[in-house]
Chain A
Amino acid sequence: MAARAAALPSPKARRSPAPGLAVGLSTLYLSVIVLLPLAALSWHAHGWEAIASAQAVSSLKLTLGVSMVVALVNAVAGTVIAWTLVRDRFVGQGFVNALVDLPFALPTIVAGLTLLALYGPKSPTGVNIAFTRWAILVALLFVTLPFVVRTVQPVLLELDTEMEDAAASLGAGRLATFRRVILPNILPAILSGVALAFARAVGEFGSVVLISGNLPFKTEVVSVYVFGRIESGDAGGAAAASVVILAISFAVLLAIGGCRRWVTRHDR
Protein backbone atom coordinates (compact mmCIF):
# COMPACT_ATOMS: atom_id res chain seq x y z
CA MET A 1 0.00 0.00 0.00
CA ALA A 2 2.78 2.36 1.00
CA ALA A 3 4.77 1.39 -2.09
CA ARG A 4 1.76 2.08 -4.30
CA ALA A 5 1.15 5.42 -2.68
CA ALA A 6 4.76 6.35 -3.30
CA ALA A 7 4.48 5.35 -6.95
CA LEU A 8 1.53 7.65 -7.51
CA PRO A 9 2.19 11.00 -9.09
CA SER A 10 2.40 13.81 -6.57
CA PRO A 11 -1.16 14.69 -5.51
CA LYS A 12 -3.02 17.03 -7.75
CA ALA A 13 -4.45 19.05 -4.85
CA ARG A 14 -1.02 20.45 -4.07
CA ARG A 15 -0.56 21.82 -7.54
CA SER A 16 -3.94 23.51 -7.67
CA PRO A 17 -4.09 27.19 -6.62
CA ALA A 18 -6.05 26.28 -3.46
CA PRO A 19 -3.08 25.81 -1.09
CA GLY A 20 -1.67 29.22 -1.86
CA LEU A 21 -5.12 30.66 -1.36
CA ALA A 22 -5.69 28.98 2.04
CA VAL A 23 -2.27 29.96 3.35
CA GLY A 24 -2.49 33.47 1.92
CA LEU A 25 -5.99 34.24 3.20
CA SER A 26 -5.40 32.88 6.69
CA THR A 27 -2.04 34.67 6.98
CA LEU A 28 -3.69 37.93 5.91
CA TYR A 29 -6.51 37.46 8.44
CA LEU A 30 -4.07 36.63 11.23
CA SER A 31 -1.92 39.65 10.39
CA VAL A 32 -4.82 42.11 10.37
CA ILE A 33 -6.60 40.73 13.44
CA VAL A 34 -3.68 39.80 15.70
CA LEU A 35 -0.28 41.00 14.48
CA LEU A 36 -1.12 44.55 13.39
CA PRO A 37 -2.69 45.62 16.73
CA LEU A 38 0.16 44.00 18.69
CA ALA A 39 2.73 45.72 16.47
CA ALA A 40 1.02 49.06 17.11
CA LEU A 41 1.00 48.29 20.83
CA SER A 42 4.73 47.51 20.93
CA TRP A 43 5.52 50.54 18.77
CA HIS A 44 3.64 52.91 21.04
CA ALA A 45 4.98 51.46 24.30
CA HIS A 46 6.83 54.36 25.83
CA GLY A 47 7.15 55.70 29.30
CA TRP A 48 9.28 52.74 30.37
CA GLU A 49 9.70 54.60 33.65
CA ALA A 50 6.00 53.74 34.13
CA ILE A 51 6.91 50.06 34.43
CA ALA A 52 9.48 50.89 37.08
CA SER A 53 6.86 52.80 39.08
CA ALA A 54 6.23 51.28 42.50
CA GLN A 55 2.57 50.62 41.70
CA ALA A 56 3.34 48.76 38.47
CA VAL A 57 6.09 46.65 40.07
CA SER A 58 3.83 45.83 43.01
CA SER A 59 0.95 44.74 40.74
CA LEU A 60 3.29 42.63 38.62
CA LYS A 61 4.80 40.97 41.70
CA LEU A 62 1.37 40.24 43.15
CA THR A 63 0.14 38.79 39.84
CA LEU A 64 3.15 36.53 39.36
CA GLY A 65 3.08 35.42 43.01
CA VAL A 66 -0.63 34.55 43.08
CA SER A 67 -0.37 32.91 39.64
CA MET A 68 2.39 30.63 40.93
CA VAL A 69 0.23 29.59 43.90
CA VAL A 70 -2.65 29.03 41.46
CA ALA A 71 -0.40 26.85 39.31
CA LEU A 72 0.69 24.77 42.32
CA VAL A 73 -2.85 24.28 43.68
CA ASN A 74 -4.03 23.32 40.18
CA ALA A 75 -1.21 20.78 39.82
CA VAL A 76 -2.53 18.92 42.87
CA ALA A 77 -6.30 19.59 42.62
CA GLY A 78 -6.38 19.04 38.84
CA THR A 79 -4.57 15.72 39.12
CA VAL A 80 -6.84 14.55 41.96
CA ILE A 81 -9.96 15.51 39.98
CA ALA A 82 -8.67 13.85 36.80
CA TRP A 83 -7.86 10.73 38.86
CA THR A 84 -11.38 10.68 40.34
CA LEU A 85 -12.93 11.03 36.88
CA VAL A 86 -10.83 8.24 35.31
CA ARG A 87 -10.20 5.67 38.05
CA ASP A 88 -13.18 6.11 40.37
CA ARG A 89 -16.79 5.08 39.66
CA PHE A 90 -19.71 6.84 41.29
CA VAL A 91 -23.23 8.01 40.53
CA GLY A 92 -23.31 11.36 38.71
CA GLN A 93 -19.79 11.05 37.31
CA GLY A 94 -20.90 12.24 33.87
CA PHE A 95 -22.39 15.35 35.44
CA VAL A 96 -19.19 16.09 37.37
CA ASN A 97 -17.18 15.56 34.19
CA ALA A 98 -19.30 18.15 32.36
CA LEU A 99 -19.16 20.52 35.36
CA VAL A 100 -15.36 20.71 35.07
CA ASP A 101 -15.75 22.55 31.74
CA LEU A 102 -18.04 25.18 33.30
CA PRO A 103 -15.27 27.80 33.79
CA PHE A 104 -14.54 27.60 30.03
CA ALA A 105 -18.18 28.30 29.19
CA LEU A 106 -19.06 30.81 31.91
CA PRO A 107 -18.26 34.49 31.20
CA THR A 108 -15.53 35.66 33.60
CA ILE A 109 -17.57 38.58 34.90
CA VAL A 110 -20.32 36.12 35.86
CA ALA A 111 -17.72 33.92 37.58
CA GLY A 112 -16.56 36.93 39.60
CA LEU A 113 -20.11 37.90 40.50
CA THR A 114 -21.08 34.39 41.65
CA LEU A 115 -17.98 34.11 43.85
CA LEU A 116 -18.70 37.54 45.29
CA ALA A 117 -22.27 36.46 46.10
CA LEU A 118 -21.17 33.41 48.09
CA TYR A 119 -17.84 34.56 49.51
CA GLY A 120 -18.41 38.33 49.66
CA PRO A 121 -19.75 40.81 52.25
CA LYS A 122 -23.36 39.57 51.99
CA SER A 123 -22.42 35.92 52.12
CA PRO A 124 -24.93 33.60 53.81
CA THR A 125 -21.99 31.41 54.92
CA GLY A 126 -20.34 34.16 56.96
CA VAL A 127 -17.15 33.74 54.92
CA ASN A 128 -16.10 37.13 53.56
CA ILE A 129 -12.90 37.21 51.54
CA ALA A 130 -13.87 40.12 49.25
CA PHE A 131 -11.17 42.75 48.62
CA THR A 132 -8.38 40.50 49.94
CA ARG A 133 -5.66 38.55 48.17
CA TRP A 134 -7.56 35.36 49.02
CA ALA A 135 -10.33 36.63 46.74
CA ILE A 136 -7.88 36.93 43.84
CA LEU A 137 -6.63 33.40 44.53
CA VAL A 138 -10.15 31.92 44.58
CA ALA A 139 -11.22 33.78 41.41
CA LEU A 140 -8.13 32.58 39.55
CA LEU A 141 -8.61 29.01 40.81
CA PHE A 142 -12.16 29.14 39.43
CA VAL A 143 -11.22 30.23 35.90
CA THR A 144 -8.14 27.96 35.61
CA LEU A 145 -9.73 24.79 37.01
CA PRO A 146 -10.21 22.86 33.72
CA PHE A 147 -6.67 23.19 32.35
CA VAL A 148 -4.81 20.52 34.37
CA VAL A 149 -7.85 18.21 34.55
CA ARG A 150 -8.26 18.27 30.77
CA THR A 151 -4.57 17.69 29.98
CA VAL A 152 -4.08 14.91 32.56
CA GLN A 153 -7.38 13.06 31.99
CA PRO A 154 -6.63 11.67 28.50
CA VAL A 155 -3.13 10.54 29.54
CA LEU A 156 -4.53 8.71 32.60
CA LEU A 157 -7.16 7.09 30.37
CA GLU A 158 -4.51 5.65 28.07
CA LEU A 159 -2.18 4.61 30.87
CA ASP A 160 -2.00 0.80 31.13
CA THR A 161 -2.76 -0.58 34.59
CA GLU A 162 -0.34 -3.45 33.86
CA MET A 163 2.65 -1.44 35.02
CA GLU A 164 0.87 -0.59 38.27
CA ASP A 165 -0.05 -4.25 38.79
CA ALA A 166 3.56 -5.21 38.19
CA ALA A 167 4.77 -2.60 40.69
CA ALA A 168 2.21 -3.81 43.25
CA SER A 169 3.16 -7.45 42.76
CA LEU A 170 6.79 -6.51 43.36
CA GLY A 171 5.75 -5.20 46.76
CA ALA A 172 5.40 -1.47 46.07
CA GLY A 173 2.87 0.31 48.28
CA ARG A 174 0.12 2.47 46.75
CA LEU A 175 2.08 5.67 47.31
CA ALA A 176 5.27 4.22 45.90
CA THR A 177 3.36 2.98 42.84
CA PHE A 178 1.91 6.44 42.29
CA ARG A 179 5.23 8.21 42.76
CA ARG A 180 7.43 5.83 40.77
CA VAL A 181 5.07 4.55 38.06
CA ILE A 182 2.09 6.85 37.51
CA LEU A 183 3.56 10.27 38.23
CA PRO A 184 6.45 10.04 35.73
CA ASN A 185 3.91 9.16 33.03
CA ILE A 186 1.52 12.01 33.71
CA LEU A 187 4.09 14.65 34.70
CA PRO A 188 4.47 16.20 31.20
CA ALA A 189 0.68 16.55 30.97
CA ILE A 190 0.52 18.09 34.47
CA LEU A 191 3.25 20.58 33.57
CA SER A 192 1.66 21.64 30.29
CA GLY A 193 -1.71 22.10 32.06
CA VAL A 194 -0.01 24.06 34.83
CA ALA A 195 1.68 26.33 32.29
CA LEU A 196 -1.65 27.05 30.57
CA ALA A 197 -3.25 27.79 33.95
CA PHE A 198 -0.36 30.09 34.86
CA ALA A 199 -0.62 32.01 31.58
CA ARG A 200 -4.37 32.39 32.00
CA ALA A 201 -3.94 33.53 35.62
CA VAL A 202 -1.37 36.21 34.72
CA GLY A 203 -3.73 37.83 32.20
CA GLU A 204 -7.05 37.32 33.99
CA PHE A 205 -9.25 40.39 34.37
CA GLY A 206 -13.03 39.81 34.37
CA SER A 207 -13.32 37.42 37.30
CA VAL A 208 -10.93 39.46 39.47
CA VAL A 209 -12.16 43.00 38.83
CA LEU A 210 -15.27 42.88 41.05
CA ILE A 211 -14.05 40.71 43.91
CA SER A 212 -10.51 42.01 44.43
CA GLY A 213 -11.43 45.62 45.20
CA ASN A 214 -8.41 46.74 43.11
CA LEU A 215 -6.53 48.43 45.95
CA PRO A 216 -3.13 49.64 44.64
CA PHE A 217 -0.20 47.90 46.40
CA LYS A 218 -2.60 45.41 47.99
CA THR A 219 -5.05 43.69 45.66
CA GLU A 220 -4.37 45.22 42.24
CA VAL A 221 -3.34 42.64 39.63
CA VAL A 222 -1.44 43.72 36.53
CA SER A 223 -4.43 43.54 34.12
CA VAL A 224 -6.38 45.85 36.42
CA TYR A 225 -3.34 48.14 36.66
CA VAL A 226 -3.18 48.36 32.85
CA PHE A 227 -6.92 49.04 32.74
CA GLY A 228 -6.48 51.84 35.27
CA ARG A 229 -3.66 53.40 33.20
CA ILE A 230 -5.91 53.33 30.12
CA GLU A 231 -8.74 54.99 32.06
CA SER A 232 -6.41 57.77 33.20
CA GLY A 233 -5.40 58.40 29.59
CA ASP A 234 -1.85 57.07 29.96
CA ALA A 235 -1.90 54.75 26.94
CA GLY A 236 1.91 54.79 26.67
CA GLY A 237 2.41 53.57 30.23
CA ALA A 238 -0.36 51.01 29.83
CA ALA A 239 1.31 49.78 26.63
CA ALA A 240 4.68 49.48 28.36
CA ALA A 241 3.22 47.25 31.10
CA SER A 242 1.28 45.34 28.40
CA VAL A 243 4.48 44.53 26.53
CA VAL A 244 5.78 42.90 29.75
CA ILE A 245 2.59 40.77 29.94
CA LEU A 246 2.92 39.98 26.23
CA ALA A 247 6.50 38.76 26.76
CA ILE A 248 5.43 36.54 29.68
CA SER A 249 2.59 35.05 27.58
CA PHE A 250 4.96 34.29 24.70
CA ALA A 251 7.50 32.68 27.06
CA VAL A 252 4.81 30.46 28.61
CA LEU A 253 3.53 29.44 25.15
CA LEU A 254 7.06 28.43 24.14
CA ALA A 255 7.38 26.42 27.39
CA ILE A 256 4.10 24.65 26.60
CA GLY A 257 5.40 23.84 23.12
CA GLY A 258 8.42 22.26 24.80
CA CYS A 259 6.13 20.26 27.12
CA ARG A 260 4.10 18.99 24.16
CA ARG A 261 7.22 17.76 22.38
CA TRP A 262 8.22 16.02 25.62
CA VAL A 263 4.79 14.37 25.83
CA THR A 264 4.94 13.03 22.27
CA ARG A 265 8.47 11.74 22.87
CA HIS A 266 7.22 9.84 25.91
CA ASP A 267 4.33 8.44 23.91
CA ARG A 268 6.72 6.61 21.65
Chain B
Amino acid sequence: MIGKYVVRFAALGYLAALLAAPLGYVFWRTFRHGLGPAWAAVTTPDAVHALKVTLILTAIAVPANTIFGILAALSIVRYRFPGAGLFNAVVDLPLALSPVVVGLALLILYGRGGWLGGHGVVFALPGMVLATIFVSLPFVVREVVPVLREIGTEQEQAAATLGASAIQTFTRVTWPAIRWATAYGVVLTTARALGEFGAVSVVSGRLAGKTESLTLYVQDRYQSFDEVGAYASAVVLALIAVTTLILMTTLKPKEETR
Protein backbone atom coordinates (compact mmCIF):
# COMPACT_ATOMS: atom_id res chain seq x y z
CA MET B 1 0.00 0.00 0.00
CA ILE B 2 2.95 2.29 0.69
CA GLY B 3 3.97 1.80 -2.95
CA LYS B 4 0.84 3.59 -4.09
CA TYR B 5 1.74 6.70 -2.11
CA VAL B 6 5.34 6.63 -3.34
CA VAL B 7 4.15 6.61 -6.96
CA ARG B 8 1.61 9.37 -6.29
CA PHE B 9 4.18 11.48 -4.46
CA ALA B 10 6.75 11.02 -7.23
CA ALA B 11 4.29 11.99 -9.98
CA LEU B 12 2.93 15.04 -8.17
CA GLY B 13 6.38 16.13 -6.99
CA TYR B 14 7.72 16.01 -10.54
CA LEU B 15 4.77 18.07 -11.85
CA ALA B 16 5.07 20.58 -9.01
CA ALA B 17 8.81 21.15 -9.45
CA LEU B 18 8.67 21.33 -13.23
CA LEU B 19 5.37 23.10 -13.96
CA ALA B 20 3.44 24.49 -11.02
CA ALA B 21 6.24 26.03 -8.94
CA PRO B 22 7.96 28.03 -11.73
CA LEU B 23 4.67 29.36 -13.10
CA GLY B 24 3.30 30.17 -9.65
CA TYR B 25 6.53 31.98 -8.76
CA VAL B 26 6.36 34.17 -11.91
CA PHE B 27 2.76 35.14 -11.09
CA TRP B 28 3.79 35.99 -7.52
CA ARG B 29 6.78 38.05 -8.66
CA THR B 30 4.69 39.97 -11.19
CA PHE B 31 1.97 40.91 -8.72
CA ARG B 32 3.92 41.20 -5.46
CA HIS B 33 3.83 45.01 -5.68
CA GLY B 34 0.19 44.97 -6.66
CA LEU B 35 -1.52 45.27 -10.03
CA GLY B 36 -0.21 48.79 -10.77
CA PRO B 37 3.38 48.23 -12.01
CA ALA B 38 2.37 45.14 -13.99
CA TRP B 39 -0.52 46.97 -15.64
CA ALA B 40 1.73 49.93 -16.49
CA ALA B 41 4.28 47.54 -18.03
CA VAL B 42 1.78 45.85 -20.36
CA THR B 43 0.10 49.09 -21.48
CA THR B 44 3.20 50.77 -22.96
CA PRO B 45 2.72 51.55 -26.68
CA ASP B 46 5.21 48.82 -27.71
CA ALA B 47 3.51 46.21 -25.52
CA VAL B 48 0.05 47.08 -26.83
CA HIS B 49 1.34 47.00 -30.40
CA ALA B 50 2.98 43.60 -29.77
CA LEU B 51 -0.30 42.23 -28.46
CA LYS B 52 -2.06 43.60 -31.55
CA VAL B 53 0.46 41.91 -33.87
CA THR B 54 -0.01 38.61 -32.04
CA LEU B 55 -3.81 38.90 -32.34
CA ILE B 56 -3.57 39.71 -36.07
CA LEU B 57 -1.32 36.70 -36.69
CA THR B 58 -3.72 34.44 -34.80
CA ALA B 59 -6.81 35.91 -36.47
CA ILE B 60 -5.42 35.03 -39.91
CA ALA B 61 -3.73 31.71 -39.13
CA VAL B 62 -6.58 30.08 -37.20
CA PRO B 63 -9.41 30.46 -39.78
CA ALA B 64 -7.06 29.54 -42.64
CA ASN B 65 -5.88 26.38 -40.88
CA THR B 66 -9.41 25.49 -39.78
CA ILE B 67 -10.77 25.52 -43.34
CA PHE B 68 -7.67 23.70 -44.58
CA GLY B 69 -7.91 21.27 -41.65
CA ILE B 70 -11.45 20.19 -42.49
CA LEU B 71 -10.73 19.89 -46.24
CA ALA B 72 -7.50 17.97 -45.56
CA ALA B 73 -9.17 15.62 -43.07
CA LEU B 74 -11.94 14.90 -45.62
CA SER B 75 -9.28 14.28 -48.27
CA ILE B 76 -7.30 11.89 -46.05
CA VAL B 77 -10.26 9.87 -44.77
CA ARG B 78 -12.86 9.93 -47.54
CA TYR B 79 -10.95 9.93 -50.81
CA ARG B 80 -8.19 7.85 -52.33
CA PHE B 81 -5.72 9.87 -54.37
CA PRO B 82 -2.16 9.37 -55.54
CA GLY B 83 0.37 10.64 -52.98
CA ALA B 84 -2.03 10.29 -50.03
CA GLY B 85 0.72 8.79 -47.89
CA LEU B 86 3.08 11.68 -48.59
CA PHE B 87 0.23 14.17 -47.98
CA ASN B 88 -0.33 12.62 -44.55
CA ALA B 89 3.37 12.77 -43.65
CA VAL B 90 3.74 16.40 -44.76
CA VAL B 91 0.72 17.41 -42.63
CA ASP B 92 2.53 16.03 -39.54
CA LEU B 93 5.87 17.63 -40.38
CA PRO B 94 5.30 21.00 -38.63
CA LEU B 95 4.79 19.09 -35.34
CA ALA B 96 8.29 17.64 -35.49
CA LEU B 97 10.22 20.37 -37.27
CA SER B 98 12.26 23.02 -35.45
CA PRO B 99 10.55 26.44 -35.73
CA VAL B 100 13.94 28.02 -36.52
CA VAL B 101 14.17 25.79 -39.60
CA VAL B 102 10.65 26.90 -40.60
CA GLY B 103 11.66 30.53 -40.29
CA LEU B 104 14.84 29.99 -42.27
CA ALA B 105 12.94 28.19 -45.06
CA LEU B 106 10.59 31.17 -45.40
CA LEU B 107 13.53 33.58 -45.25
CA ILE B 108 15.25 31.76 -48.11
CA LEU B 109 12.11 31.46 -50.24
CA TYR B 110 10.86 35.04 -49.81
CA GLY B 111 14.08 36.82 -48.91
CA ARG B 112 16.52 38.68 -51.15
CA GLY B 113 17.51 36.43 -54.08
CA GLY B 114 14.88 33.84 -53.18
CA TRP B 115 12.53 32.22 -55.69
CA LEU B 116 9.70 34.50 -54.57
CA GLY B 117 11.89 37.24 -53.12
CA GLY B 118 11.46 40.99 -53.23
CA HIS B 119 7.78 41.39 -52.34
CA GLY B 120 8.25 42.69 -48.81
CA VAL B 121 7.23 39.38 -47.25
CA VAL B 122 10.15 38.87 -44.87
CA PHE B 123 10.90 41.29 -42.03
CA ALA B 124 7.22 42.26 -42.30
CA LEU B 125 3.80 41.04 -41.26
CA PRO B 126 3.13 38.69 -44.28
CA GLY B 127 6.20 36.60 -43.44
CA MET B 128 5.12 36.36 -39.80
CA VAL B 129 1.65 35.27 -40.92
CA LEU B 130 3.13 32.53 -43.15
CA ALA B 131 5.36 31.35 -40.28
CA THR B 132 2.42 31.22 -37.87
CA ILE B 133 0.26 29.31 -40.38
CA PHE B 134 3.09 26.82 -40.98
CA VAL B 135 3.67 25.91 -37.33
CA SER B 136 -0.02 25.69 -36.37
CA LEU B 137 -1.13 23.76 -39.46
CA PRO B 138 -1.57 20.15 -38.24
CA PHE B 139 -3.86 20.55 -35.21
CA VAL B 140 -7.36 20.71 -36.77
CA VAL B 141 -6.47 17.92 -39.24
CA ARG B 142 -5.19 15.66 -36.46
CA GLU B 143 -8.32 16.15 -34.33
CA VAL B 144 -10.86 15.74 -37.15
CA VAL B 145 -9.30 12.72 -38.92
CA PRO B 146 -10.00 10.11 -36.16
CA VAL B 147 -13.60 11.31 -35.75
CA LEU B 148 -14.28 11.12 -39.49
CA ARG B 149 -12.83 7.58 -39.49
CA GLU B 150 -15.02 6.56 -36.57
CA ILE B 151 -18.36 7.85 -37.89
CA GLY B 152 -17.91 6.02 -41.20
CA THR B 153 -19.78 6.86 -44.38
CA GLU B 154 -23.17 5.15 -43.89
CA GLN B 155 -25.05 8.29 -42.89
CA GLU B 156 -23.40 10.34 -45.62
CA GLN B 157 -24.32 7.70 -48.18
CA ALA B 158 -27.90 7.62 -46.90
CA ALA B 159 -28.12 11.41 -47.25
CA ALA B 160 -26.69 11.23 -50.77
CA THR B 161 -29.14 8.52 -51.88
CA LEU B 162 -31.99 10.62 -50.51
CA GLY B 163 -30.96 13.31 -52.95
CA ALA B 164 -28.84 15.61 -50.76
CA SER B 165 -26.14 17.55 -52.57
CA ALA B 166 -22.52 17.31 -51.44
CA ILE B 167 -22.86 20.61 -49.57
CA GLN B 168 -26.13 19.58 -47.90
CA THR B 169 -24.57 16.26 -46.86
CA PHE B 170 -21.67 18.12 -45.31
CA THR B 171 -23.69 20.76 -43.43
CA ARG B 172 -26.46 18.41 -42.24
CA VAL B 173 -24.58 15.13 -41.60
CA THR B 174 -20.81 15.47 -41.49
CA TRP B 175 -20.41 18.85 -39.76
CA PRO B 176 -22.58 18.08 -36.71
CA ALA B 177 -20.43 14.99 -36.11
CA ILE B 178 -17.05 16.72 -36.36
CA ARG B 179 -17.82 20.13 -34.85
CA TRP B 180 -16.50 19.36 -31.34
CA ALA B 181 -13.33 17.82 -32.73
CA THR B 182 -12.95 20.92 -34.92
CA ALA B 183 -13.48 23.19 -31.91
CA TYR B 184 -10.81 21.31 -29.95
CA GLY B 185 -8.44 21.58 -32.92
CA VAL B 186 -9.17 25.32 -33.15
CA VAL B 187 -8.25 25.77 -29.49
CA LEU B 188 -4.94 23.92 -30.01
CA THR B 189 -4.25 25.93 -33.19
CA THR B 190 -4.93 29.18 -31.36
CA ALA B 191 -2.60 28.26 -28.49
CA ARG B 192 0.19 27.38 -30.91
CA ALA B 193 -0.34 30.52 -33.01
CA LEU B 194 -0.37 32.87 -30.00
CA GLY B 195 2.76 31.32 -28.56
CA GLU B 196 4.92 30.93 -31.66
CA PHE B 197 8.39 32.29 -31.13
CA GLY B 198 11.23 30.67 -33.09
CA ALA B 199 9.86 30.88 -36.64
CA VAL B 200 8.43 34.37 -36.17
CA SER B 201 11.70 35.46 -34.56
CA VAL B 202 13.65 34.54 -37.71
CA VAL B 203 11.35 36.17 -40.30
CA SER B 204 10.20 39.24 -38.36
CA GLY B 205 13.37 41.31 -38.15
CA ARG B 206 12.16 42.15 -34.61
CA LEU B 207 11.48 45.85 -35.03
CA ALA B 208 9.96 47.09 -31.77
CA GLY B 209 6.58 48.70 -32.35
CA LYS B 210 6.45 47.27 -35.88
CA THR B 211 7.07 43.55 -36.36
CA GLU B 212 7.28 42.48 -32.74
CA SER B 213 4.74 39.95 -31.53
CA LEU B 214 4.06 39.48 -27.83
CA THR B 215 6.42 36.50 -27.50
CA LEU B 216 9.22 38.48 -29.16
CA TYR B 217 8.40 41.41 -26.88
CA VAL B 218 8.92 39.17 -23.81
CA GLN B 219 12.42 38.29 -25.02
CA ASP B 220 13.15 41.89 -25.99
CA ARG B 221 12.17 43.17 -22.53
CA TYR B 222 14.19 40.46 -20.78
CA GLN B 223 17.28 41.20 -22.82
CA SER B 224 16.88 44.93 -22.15
CA PHE B 225 16.98 44.09 -18.40
CA ASP B 226 13.37 45.27 -18.01
CA GLU B 227 12.29 42.40 -15.77
CA VAL B 228 8.96 43.93 -14.79
CA GLY B 229 8.00 44.31 -18.46
CA ALA B 230 9.22 40.80 -19.34
CA TYR B 231 7.39 39.11 -16.47
CA ALA B 232 4.20 41.15 -16.89
CA SER B 233 3.91 40.37 -20.62
CA ALA B 234 4.82 36.73 -19.91
CA VAL B 235 1.95 36.65 -17.43
CA VAL B 236 -0.43 38.00 -20.11
CA LEU B 237 0.59 35.10 -22.36
CA ALA B 238 0.35 32.65 -19.44
CA LEU B 239 -3.17 33.86 -18.64
CA ILE B 240 -4.17 33.25 -22.27
CA ALA B 241 -2.58 29.77 -21.95
CA VAL B 242 -4.58 29.03 -18.79
CA THR B 243 -7.79 30.13 -20.56
CA THR B 244 -6.84 27.77 -23.39
CA LEU B 245 -6.32 24.97 -20.87
CA ILE B 246 -9.78 25.53 -19.41
CA LEU B 247 -11.30 25.46 -22.91
CA MET B 248 -9.36 22.27 -23.71
CA THR B 249 -10.61 20.57 -20.56
CA THR B 250 -14.23 21.56 -21.18
CA LEU B 251 -14.18 20.52 -24.85
CA LYS B 252 -12.42 17.16 -24.36
CA PRO B 253 -15.19 15.19 -22.59
CA LYS B 254 -17.74 16.19 -25.21
CA GLU B 255 -15.44 14.85 -27.87
CA GLU B 256 -14.97 11.57 -26.03
CA THR B 257 -18.56 10.83 -25.04
CA ARG B 258 -20.13 11.60 -28.37
* B128 interface contact, C-beta 8 A: no
* The stretch of B33-41, B43-51, B154-162, B175-183 that contacts the partner chain: B154-162
| Neighbour of A9 across the interface among B137, B161, B202, CB < 8 A | B161
Q: Which residues of A contact B25 (CB under 8 A)?
A: 114, 117-118, 124
Q: How many residues of A contact B (CB 8 A)?
A: 91
A15–B94 Cα distance when bound, in Å, is 33
Knowing that A85-B11, A106-B195 touch, tell me 20 more A-B residue pairs with CB under 8 angstroms. Answer: A11-B157, A12-B161, A13-B166, A30-B137, A33-B133, A34-B90, A38-B93, A44-B108, A81-B11, A83-B7, A84-B7, A100-B15, A105-B195, A105-B248, A110-B215, A145-B18, A206-B197, A223-B198, A235-B104, A242-B101
A40 touches B114 (CB 8 A): yes
B98 touches A223 (CB 8 A): yes
| Neighbour of A102 across the interface among B92, B103, B169, B245, CB < 8 A | B245
Closest 7 CB pairs of A and B: A203-B98, A107-B195, A37-B105, A205-B198, A206-B197, A18-B166, A40-B109
- Taking the nearest CB of chain B, how far is it from the CB of A38, in angstroms? 5
**A34-B137, A44-B108, A227-B202 given; A109·B71 CB < 8 A:** no
* A192 interface contact, C-beta 8 A: no
B93 touches A22 (CB 8 A): no
Q: Render A97-120 as a binary contact track against B, CB cut-off 8 A, 1 for contact.
A: 111111111111110011101110
B184-234 residues at the A interface, CB under 8 angstroms: 188, 191, 194-198, 201-202, 215, 218-219, 222, 230-231, 234
Q: Which residues of A contact B134 (CB under 8 A)?
A: 33-34, 37
B157-175 residues at the A interface, CB under 8 angstroms: 157, 160-161, 165-167, 169-170
Q: Which residues of A contact B237 (CB under 8 A)?
A: 106-107, 110
A37–B117 Cα distance when bound, in Å, is 12
A157–B12 Cα distance when bound, in Å, is 19
Q: Which residues of A contact B94 (CB under 8 A)?
A: 34
* Interface, chain A (partner B; CB < 8 A): 5, 8-9, 11-14, 16-19, 22-23, 25-27, 29-30, 33-38, 40-41, 44, 77, 80-81, 83-85, 88, 90, 94, 96-110, 113-115, 117-119, 124, 138, 141-142, 145, 174, 196, 199-200, 202-206, 209-210, 222-224, 226-227, 230, 235, 238-239, 242, 245-246, 249-250, 252-254, 257
A245 touches B4 (CB 8 A): no
B234 touches A205 (CB 8 A): no
B245 touches A105 (CB 8 A): yes
**A102-B19, A138-B18 given; A107·B197 CB < 8 A:** yes
- Tell me what chain B mostly uses at the interface: helix, strand, loop, or mixed: helix
Can you list 28 pairs linking A and B with CB atoms under 8 Å apart?
A14-B79, A18-B166, A19-B75, A19-B78, A22-B74, A22-B75, A25-B68, A33-B130, A37-B109, A37-B130, A81-B14, A99-B19, A102-B241, A107-B195, A108-B197, A109-B197, A109-B234, A113-B234, A117-B26, A118-B26, A124-B25, A138-B18, A227-B202, A235-B107, A242-B98, A245-B101, A249-B98, A257-B89
Q: How many residues of B contact A (CB 8 A)?
A: 93
Name the CB-closest residue of A to B161.
A8
B90 touches A80 (CB 8 A): no
Q: Which residues of B contact A99 (CB under 8 A)?
A: 15, 19-20, 245
